[in-house]
């Protein structure tokens, strides 16, 4: 189950990272009013994270510390999303808000699964 959670998280990161880098204007319009440069930087970070998640998912026995690193990243993603929504910043369109909530739920679920199935080492 850990491997599946890592792969799902990796695919999500890669998908949104590529989207934010290659379709920045469309993402901007869909989300609301995020800084364009922030979307591009986020895209690069998500791609790097997605590649790292993919690599770790291919390991027979990934390190517990590395899994916790990803869990912390997932927690930060969820919290930042909630703060942005609560403050009405950057994510301002109706569809953007709905999508951001669904993505935060998905990311939180990935983090929870990674927590539950993290190695004991």
Asked, for residue 45, whether it belongs to a domain, the answer is: yes
pLDDT at position 120: 84
Residue 69's pLDDT band (boundaries 50, 70, 90)?
very high
User: How far is 19 from 47, CA to CA, in rounded Å?
Assistant: 10
Question: Would the pLDDT of 23 be above 70?
Answer: yes
Question: Would the pLDDT of 111 be above 90?
Answer: yes
Q: Mean pLDDT, to the nearest integer, of 27-55? A: 96
Asked, for residue 104, whether it belongs to a domain, the answer is: yes
Backbone angles phi, psi at 92, to 5 degrees: -125, -10
Q: Which residues contact 7 (CB under 8 A, 6 or more apart)?
A: 53, 54, 57
Asked, for residue 91, whether it belongs to a domain, the answer is: yes
Containing structural domain, residue 86 = 2-116
Give this prediction's pTM: 0.94
Q: What is residue 32's three-state secondary structure? A: strand
Question: Would the pLDDT of 88 be above 90?
Answer: yes
Asked, for residue 121, whether it belongs to a domain, the answer is: no
Residue 94's pLDDT band (boundaries 50, 70, 90)?
very high
Asked, for residue 70, whether it belongs to a domain, the answer is: yes
**Is the Cα torsion angle 95, 101, 105, 110 positive or negative in sign?**
positive
User: How far is 17 from 30, CA to CA, in rounded Å?
Assistant: 15
Nearest 10 degrees: Cα torsion 37, 41, 47, 53: -140
Q: Mean pLDDT, to the nearest integer, of 66-74? A: 97
Element at 31 (helix H, strand E): helix 24-31
Asked, for residue 36, whether it belongs to a domain, the answer is: yes
Number of domains making up the chain:
1
pLDDT at position 121: 67
């Amino acid at each position: 189950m850990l491997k599946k959670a890592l792969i799902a998280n990796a695919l999500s990161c890669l998908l949104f990272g590529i989207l934010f880098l290659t379709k920045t204007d469309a993402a901007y319009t869909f989300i609301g009013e995020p800084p364009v440069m922030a979307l591009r930087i986020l895209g690069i970070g998500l791609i790097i994270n997605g590649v790292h998640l993919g690599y770790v998912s291919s390991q027979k026995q990934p390190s517990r510390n590395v899994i916790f690193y990803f869990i912390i990243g997932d927690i930060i993603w969820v919290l930042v999303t909630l703060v942005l929504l609560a403050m009405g910043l950057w994510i301002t369109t109706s569809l953007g808000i709905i999508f951001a909530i669904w993505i935060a739920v998905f990311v939180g679920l990935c983090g929870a699964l990674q927590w539950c199935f993290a190695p004991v080492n």
